[in-house]
Amino acid sequence: MTRIELLSKISEALRTPTLPPVRADDMMRLELLDSLLDQLCCLNPTIQPGSTRSFAPIATGRWRVAFAPHIIKLSALGYVTFDPILYVLNAQGGIESNVQYKWLGGVHGWLSTRGRYGSRDEDEVSFVEWDEAWWNPGAAVPTASPADGAFASIVSALGDAGFVSAFANFPVKYLDRDVCIFEFPLSGTRIMAVREGGSLDVW
């Protein structure tokens, strides 16, 4: 298949039968998406996708995680849903992550982090290093400032303690204007993020 045909197949697999996140027990769909991503990465159109030269012109904007096997497994184990998982990147190398969680009994809220992103080797490996973390339990939307989060000083300290630089490197396997596929080293799985409003934004 061509790259365009693969992107169309991935879009179809994301939409059918329900929108992401994919359920952990939907093994056929998980395996199909994984196979399609294998093929798509072989047709990566971007030279040195983890380099500043390659991602700087297209990184800025809002991205949403469409496929993340390690999150799917974690959600099934804890009976919790993490969705949406959003990344907001700016042209100055800043990044913010906002993750909504929904648990049993209507428990919900947002977990957020803020830091910087860049290239580790100006080739394939990018990095994300978090500087701030905050928590908005029960909130419909995340706050803009970490100081407005619950237990701000405690959550910030836990965020600092949980950050491990060895796990901050993310090899980029595919990159175009609307899709980024990168490896998550801690779990050895791939994550696909899509640009909001882009060709693979199925929501």
**CB under 8 Å, gap of 24 or more: what pairs does 106-113 form?**
108/138, 109/135, 109/136, 109/137, 109/138, 109/139, 110/135, 110/136, 110/139, 110/141, 110/142, 111/135, 112/136, 112/142, 112/143, 112/146, 112/149, 113/159
**Per-residue pLDDT tens for 33-90?**
999 999 999 999 999 999 999 999 999 999 999 999 989 988 888 889 999 999 999 9
| CA distances from residue 165 to 30, 95, 98, 202 in whole angstroms, order as listed | 29, 16, 20, 33
51: its two tokens: 């380099």
Which of helix, strand or coil describes residue 140? coil
Overall size of the chain counted in residues: 203
Binned at pLDDT 50, 70 and 90, residue 187 comes out as confident
The average confidence (pLDDT) of the chain is: 92
The span from the CA of 182 to the CA of 64, in Å, is 13
Can you tell me the distance from the alpha carbon of 81 to that of 111, in angstroms, rounded to the nearest whole number?
12
User: Is residue 185's pLDDT more than 90?
Assistant: no
CA distance 182 to 138: 31
DSSP assigned state of 180: E
Q: What percent of the chain is predicted at pLDDT more than 90?
A: 78
How many angstroms from the chain centroid is the CA of residue 83? 10
Cα separation, 5 vs 101, in Å, equals 33
pLDDT tens-place string over residues 135-174? 999 999 999 988 888 877 777 776 665 565 656 899 999 9
Q: What is the pTM of this model?
A: 0.92
Comparing CA positions, the residue from 137, 135, 117 lying closest to residue 127 is 117
